[in-house]
Structure 1
Amino acid sequence: MDELIVGTYEGFLLGYSIRTEDKNMKLKQTFATHSHTASVRCISIGGKFLASGGTDDKVVVIDLKTRQEHTVLMNHDGTINSVAFTHNGTHLLTGSDDGSIIITRTGNWQIEKIWKKAHGGQPVTAIAVHPSDKLALSIGGDKTLRTWNLIKGRPAFTINLASKGVLLPTEIKFSPGGDRFSLVSQQTVDVWTISKAGVEKRITCTSKPTTVQWLTDERLYIGLENGNIITLTVSDTKALTYPAHKQRVKSLHYENELLYSASSAGEIKVWSVDESKLVEINSCNAACRVTCVSLNRQNHLVKKEDNSDIEDEEEKAASEENNEESDDAEEITVPVKRKPGAFVTISYGDEVKDENDEDNKPPPKKKFKKRKRNKKPKSQKKAD
């Protein structure tokens, strides 16, 4: 059982459990919080934590076990446009209108790195973390695409998007394998290849593209301003079009052969994906204007329904039987695996440095003084 997390323009965070009953899928609301005083712009899930950023300059962290506010990060002085946990869940990257990117360690929530002028002082629009956690990509108001080395904690590459014909980029997402990523701009979606360091395919849409969701390293779905969803592979010349919503598609998410879509009118739909075909399974209305969605895939963090008394009694009886059997058994201690302390532990290749960036300046070399040894006088040596 998965749980869909929805951010809204009204500042709410909503949860919907996804259950299968009598071969029918149903969406039922599990929780609702109003931690933000303004619109929620972005959300991300890492381990048991849900992070959301909004136009109130706050990053709210919610514990998905207790469904309560865990902490609030007030490190930015502008709208939070992007929040992204690393895939191992050890760090949270946040980008803001104040022009900075901040890396915060989860757990103690201490800042480990700040790039104050990540995009020349212009707003940071979006951040995407590579599946390997070795690097991150960001786009901003300076019309550049920047690569950040998450091992050494410094910038690596900068690409001028205007020279590539990309204007006003709004979203960036990696494919599951990480060799490709999509870049959404005004009327096009560009597919980039990291190994070739350039644009592999440009997709021109009939309506303004709003969001992209990769299914595989080859196939992707694109949500449009007119409410349609189109799908194609990187090698396809024509796309299939599905009339999904009456208003613009705000967000897409794919998991376990299911595609979740949400419109600006608050309509949420679940689709089954059979090869390239979309079949609507169920839908509901959040009664709010949806801005973003994510999926909580951890079953133990999904709150159960209050009317599931039969299931609770069965689980209780099973646990009692297990306790009786374990009374005579010996206790076995299992060592707990620790998460890596650094950003990542994988080596990174050669990088192009920005000489004007203070983060790239090497630290000053330390001078060490030679220690003088006290020599004994010759007369003392003879006496010895």
Structure 2
Amino acid sequence: MPRASKLRNKRDRNGDRNDDRNGDSATIDDSREKSSRKKRIVKEPEPEPESEKDKIKENKKNTKTNVKKSENNNVQAEVDKGKNKLKDNVFISNHSIISTGDFRIITGSYERILYGIDARWIKEDNDQADKDEVKLQLEPLFIFSAHIGYIKTVAASGRYLASGSTDEIIRLYDLKRLREHGSLHHHNGSITTLCFYSTTHMLSGSEDGLVAIWRTKGWECLKSMKGHKACVNSIAVHPSGKMALSVGKDGAAIVWDLVNGRKGAVWKIRKEGEVVLWNTSGEFYAILSRNEITIYNVADAQVSQTITQKSMFLCMRYYKDDNIGEVIITGSEDKIIRAFDVNTGKCIVEFSGHKNSTGLLTFRILFCPTRLTQQQRIKSLDIIRSNRPFLSIPITLLVSISSDGIVNVWNLSSALEKIKPDKVAQINKVIASHDTANRLICVVCAEGGKSKLGEGSVQRDGGEESKDIDKDNKEDDTDDESD
């Protein structure tokens, strides 16, 4: 073959290879361009929704509670963040306030409601009212569900309020800051009685038969004492603070040595003791049992006086008057409050002013008419001294609650002045009344005053108020020093 034709064939073969290569490269470029366009068109995947477990973990982190454990492993004091806080409600009034909350009334009910009432001395805002004429006004301060069981007992001393319930928990509240302080978990039964000694210690009793001693600084359980074989109904601390007396469903009365934290004398009484109280001097104590109140002398443990009546006793309070001496004030099933002379055992004053509230009365007639009379019982009493404006001498007030939801305030000082020989004084006028619309069980009075929130301010739910009990008590010490 000639040389020229060979060269032409070689060039043709090389050209075909180059064309194939160029075609392949073009195909690759086209595919790359298409893939790049697809990448630009495809949307970014949406983030996966959080699982329920992640949400629960996040909520636990946000609502983490601070817990203070004492040396006793059975005792746990916890502070809840943003839960069941006391809120200072704002109310509009047509009266001019003379004093900011002279005292407070706190009640517990079957509806698990802790109901706080602010009691203030006010004067009418009109020209006809006398400058020195004042009256007591009761306004709600806080209303909230405090427990998951009904509230059986409340107690207050200084800045602290304690409530006990059938849910076996003791709730603590700071009345100065108007918020929940913590809760105590120790008893294995309904909390039946709470009792403060001064502002330093508190005693608690339960259906488990235990009597526990608590120190308010740190809320440590100092001692848990076993003595009753059944429910502890009532505890009373001697005025000296060195001993206490308790009664229970087992029909026993027990003296407790509070200095050494141990059980003392034990003796059986004829009936189940429901309430026990010391007199103001600590020389006598009284035990209430249904239709009878027995007063004992501490010196010889002999019966000093016995008070009886047809209607069942439900509650009682000791009171010492400067003129007539000591009296025992009782509340009964017949919705009558009576004051008895402890020396003679005779009734000297009757208070009759509790009547059914309209709303609850209608409900009971329609749905439970057989229990109508039972809903008018006087369930609990408390006594407090009050400084009324324009008067240099304080007066003594009696606060009573009934099962129909009514809170009544009586002028006890004025009532005892009306006593006449061989005649029972009749008092049917209250100085203030409030309808809670709850079936009330217990009541306690506490000193009033401005809170740390300041006058006119409101503490809302969810505020940054969560601290553990140790931190709170450090602040309490600082506040006490400044006060």
TM-score for both structures, normalised by structure 2: 0.60
Task: For residue 244 of structure 1, report the CA deviation from its aligned partner.
Answer: 3.1
**How far, CA to CA, are the matches of 1:301 and 1:249 in structure 2?**
31
Change (3 A) 1:45 1:301: farther
Partner of 1:188: 292
Residue deviations 1:109-128 (CA, integer Å, cap 9, x gap): 2221111x3213x1111111
Identity fraction in percent: 31
Partner of 1:242: 351
Matched, 1:44 2:145: no
Partner of 1:141: 249
* 1:10 counterpart SS class: coil
Partner of 1:254: 383
Task: For residue 234 of structure 1, report the CA deviation from its aligned partner.
Answer: 1.1
Change (3 A) 1:105 1:128: same
Q: How does 1:76-225 map to 2 (within 5 A)?
A: 76-87=187-198, 89-115=199-225, 117-120=226-229, 122-162=230-270, 167-216=271-320, 218-225=326-333
**How far, CA to CA, are the matches of 1:35 and 1:285 in structure 2?**
19
* 1:69 counterpart SS class: strand
* Aligned partner of 2:443 among 288, 293, 313: 293
* Aligned partner of 1:266 among 405, 417, 422: 405
Task: For residue 237 of structure 1, report the CA deviation from its aligned partner.
Answer: 4.8
Point out the structure with the larger helix share: 2
Kept in 2: contact 1:214–1:254 (CA 8 A): no
**How far, CA to CA, are the matches of 2:296 and 2:450 in structure 1?**
37
Task: For residue 300 of structure 1, report the CA deviation from its aligned partner.
Answer: 4.2
Residue deviations 1:330-355 (CA, integer Å, cap 9, x gap): xxxx9x87xxxxxxxxxxxxxxxxxx
Structure 1, unpaired ranges of 5+:
308-333, 338-384
Kept in 2: contact 1:182–1:212 (CA 8 A): no
Partner of 1:9: 110
Kept in 1: contact 2:408–2:432 (CA 8 A): yes
**How far, CA to CA, are the matches of 1:299 and 1:102 in structure 2?**
30
Q: How does 1:346-357 map to 2 (within 5 A)?
A: none
Change (3 A) 1:51 1:287: same
Residue deviations 1:296-343 (CA, integer Å, cap 9, x gap): 124345987749xxxxxxxxxxxxxxxxxxxxxxxxxx9x87xxxxxx
Change (3 A) 1:37 1:141: same
**How far, CA to CA, are the matches of 2:452 and 2:301 in structure 1?**
40
Kept in 2: contact 1:3–1:297 (CA 8 A): yes
Task: For residue 98 of structure 1, report the CA deviation from its aligned partner.
Answer: 1.1
Partner of 2:121: 20
Kept in 1: contact 2:192–2:207 (CA 8 A): yes
Partner of 1:362: none
Matched, 1:233 2:362: no
Compare 272-281 and 255-264 and name the one that shifted more: 272-281
**How far, CA to CA, are the matches of 2:297 and 2:119 in structure 1?**
34
Task: For residue 84 of structure 1, report the CA deviation from its aligned partner.
Answer: 1.1
Structure 2, unpaired ranges of 5+:
1-101, 124-133, 356-375, 386-395, 419-426, 458-477
**Structure number with bigger Rg:** 2
Aligned residues: 304
Matched, 1:29 2:140: yes
* Aligned partner of 1:280 among 399, 416, 430: 430
**How far, CA to CA, are the matches of 1:40 and 1:34 in structure 2?**
10
Task: For residue 289 of structure 1, report the CA deviation from its aligned partner.
Answer: 1.0
* 1:76 counterpart SS class: coil
Matched, 1:54 2:54: no
**How far, CA to CA, are the matches of 1:302 and 1:82 in structure 2?**
29
Residue deviations 1:192-240 (CA, integer Å, cap 9, x gap): 2223322211111120001111221611211111100111211235313
Change (3 A) 1:302 1:198: farther
**How far, CA to CA, are the matches of 2:337 and 2:411 in structure 1?**
14
TM-score for both structures, normalised by structure 1: 0.75
Kept in 2: contact 1:260–1:269 (CA 8 A): yes
Compare 37-46 and 171-180 and name the one that shifted more: 171-180
Partner of 2:7: none
**How far, CA to CA, are the matches of 1:303 and 1:173 in structure 2?**
36
Cα-Cα RMSD:
2.2
**How far, CA to CA, are the matches of 2:140 and 2:205 in structure 1?**
30
Point out the structure with the larger strand share: 1
Task: For residue 275 of structure 1, report the CA deviation from its aligned partner.
Answer: 5.0
Task: For residue 47 of structure 1, report the CA deviation from its aligned partner.
Answer: 2.2
Change (3 A) 1:199 1:127: same
Residue deviations 1:162-202 (CA, integer Å, cap 9, x gap): 2xxxx122111222222222211121111222233222111
Change (3 A) 1:226 1:305: farther
* 2:244 counterpart SS class: strand
Residue deviations 1:77-96 (CA, integer Å, cap 9, x gap): 11000111212x22221111
